[in-house]
């Protein structure tokens, strides 16, 4: 689901070169507190730098048995705070595990290809002190690119095709010195290609997917393709790639790197678009009375000095959506991995699209059915601030059963939001406007809000979508209906 404004990132030429071992395009996992993610091991006292600390894999969400694809340090190395120690590669993202503080690597407890989970021992190092390590590790976990994608992705077992066989533990190729993105490294491993033999044509010699494909083409004769069919793109869907174009032939150009969020979420958006047969139903709701009541609540919230809050239409949309989800539970569901059953969810967590400088994120309002307008408004204010500051945790992004994307503060009359699979529907809201409405005797100015409901046609048919949208609009027109 990509809607809303997405400010472009800064010019990549202005970025500082990465420090030793760092890869800016790879998400970093935040370490846990020492009593959860590290056990301190007493050592012979040589001042504050003689404390042996065992580093463990921090909280990585629901992932288990993730292979280690790179080890960035060796025994005896001196490392600084947040330096990457190892890289993990799940089916959804590649992630770095950072050092909680400065110190010297004393012993590495894993090897390339080992599969690890939360709490697995990683290495022992002599840090600045136990107190310093504890202080560094106590920082709250922030939102990284991996968390922004994995929160709604289905399990690997839900994929219709079988995954490629994993390489034996300890036999994964070492690409730690190769200048290539995580996606290119993974593609090379899947194809059994030695990246060290590939010449990069990207910026500063970076190896691109085109370089990998070109190397394979030169190394072996291509198999004959079916008539009218382009070569397999490697996307897993057999869809031909868009041919590369040298735009500089037509005029001046500037290349800007995508933000981490956009790079990692791109695959999820593409997969949803390819897998979900999407239809969008348009409707509208007369919110004249509801907006008047909203303004009363908003003014009361602004008058509070210490615990003030703002009340927007989004809080009412969430409550109206819950009412519609209860009436039509097919919308609060997901397809089973085998695609032959519907998993109905008896909880109501609403994902809310938030526009940030780095791209669109979707934090979740949990248990929306148990909260009133004021509590939801407070939650929206808090979670939106965390999103804009880049402080969302993985837990903030998980568990949505239905999503809402609102462009009301920007403009537009309607749009087609993408279903955030494995959810089966999403509500898009454009900008409300005053319109003349015939009441039977005369035209009256009424505040009308456009509603765009996108849904998975495998689960929901057009008539059911129309009933859902009409119920939501009906409830939104008179908030008293929320309590009936």
CB 156 within 8 A of CB 271: no
Q: What is the DSSP letter of 117?
A: -
The torsion angle over the Cα atoms of residues 203, 209, 215 and 217, rounded to 10 degrees, is -140
Quick one: which of 160, 161, 185 has its CA closest to 172? 185
The torsion angle over the Cα atoms of residues 245, 249, 253 and 257, rounded to 10 degrees, is 30
CA atoms within 13 A on the CB side of 58: 24
> What's the rounded Cα separation, in Å, for the pair 284 and 226?
47
Q: Which of 6, 179, 270, 457 is catalytic?
A: 457
Residues with Cβ within 8 Å of residue 269, at least 6 apart in sequence: 1, 2, 418
Quick one: which of 153, 166, 462, 90 has its CA closest to 337? 153
Percent of residues in the chain assigned helix, strand, coil, to nearest 5:
30, 20, 50
> What's the rounded Cα separation, in Å, for the pair 303 and 375?
16
74: tokens are: 């060796």
Do the strands 402-406 and 425-429 form a parallel or antiparallel pair, or are they unpaired?
parallel
Entry field: residues in the chain: 484
Is 457 assigned a catalytic role?
yes
* Ranges assigned E (strand) in 7-83: 38-41, 51-56, 66-71, 78-79
Phi, psi at 174, each rounded to 5°: -95, 110
Preceding amide of 422 cis, omega within 30: yes
Q: Among all residues, which ones are annotated catalytic?
A: 457
């Amino acid at each position: 689901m990509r809607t809303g404004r997405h400010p472009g990132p800064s010019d990549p030429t202005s970025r500082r070169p990465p420090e030793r071992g760092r890869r800016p395009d790879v998400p970093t996992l935040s370490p846990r507190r020492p009593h959860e993610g590290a056990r301190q091991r007493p050592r012979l006292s040589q001042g504050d730098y003689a404390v042996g600390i065992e580093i463990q894999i921090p909280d990585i969400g629901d992932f288990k048995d993730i292979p280690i694809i790179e080890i960035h340090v060796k025994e005896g190395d001196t490392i600084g705070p947040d330096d990457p120690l190892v890289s993990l590669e799940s089916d959804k993202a590649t992630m770095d595990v950072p050092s909680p503080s400065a110190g010297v690597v004393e012993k590495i407890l894993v090897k390339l290809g080992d599969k690890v989970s939360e709490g697995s021992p990683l290495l022992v190092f002599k840090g600045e002190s136990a107190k310093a390590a504890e202080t560094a590790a106590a920082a709250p976990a922030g939102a990284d690119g991996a968390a922004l994608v994995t929160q709604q992705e289905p399990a690997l077992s839900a994929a219709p095709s079988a995954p490629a066989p994993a390489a034996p533990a300890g036999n994964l190729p070492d690409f730690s010195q190769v200048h290539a993105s995580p996606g290119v490294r993974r593609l090379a491993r899947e194809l059994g290609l030695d990246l060290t033999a590939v010449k990069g044509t990207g910026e500063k010699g970076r190896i691109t997917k085109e370089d990998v494909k070109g190397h394979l083409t030169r190394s072996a004769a291509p198999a004959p393709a079916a008539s009218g069919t382009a070569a397999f793109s490697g996307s897993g869907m057999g869809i031909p790639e868009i041919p590369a174009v040298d735009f500089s032939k037509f005029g001046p150009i500037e290349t800007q790197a995508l933000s981490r969020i956009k790079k990692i979420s791109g695959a999820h958006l593409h997969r949803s678009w390819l897998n979900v047969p999407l239809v969008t139903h348009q409707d509208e709701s007369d919110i004249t009375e509801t907006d008047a009541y909203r303004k009363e609540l908003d003014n009361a919230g602004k008058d509070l000095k210490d615990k003030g809050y703002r009340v927007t239409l989004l809080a009412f949309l969430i409550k109206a959506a819950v009412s519609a989800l209860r009436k039509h539970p097919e919308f609060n569901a997901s397809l089973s991995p085998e695609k032959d059953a519907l998993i109905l969810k008896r909880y109501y967590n609403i994902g809310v699209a938030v526009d940030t400088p780095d791209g669109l994120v979707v934090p979740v309002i949990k248990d929306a059915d148990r909260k009133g307008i004021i509590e939801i408004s407070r939650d929206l204010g808090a979670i939106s601030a965390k999103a804009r500051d880049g402080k969302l945790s993985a837990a903030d992004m998980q568990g949505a059963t239905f999503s809402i994307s609102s462009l009301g503060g920007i403009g537009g009359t309607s749009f087609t939001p993408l279903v955030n699979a494995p959810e089966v529907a999403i509500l898009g809201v454009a900008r409300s406007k005053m319109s003349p409405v015939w009441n039977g005797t005369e035209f009256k100015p009424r505040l009308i809000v456009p509603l765009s409901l996108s849904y998975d046609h495998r689960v929901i048919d057009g008539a059911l979508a129309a009933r859902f949208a009409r119920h939501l609009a009906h409830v939104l027109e008179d908030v008293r209906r929320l309590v009936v």
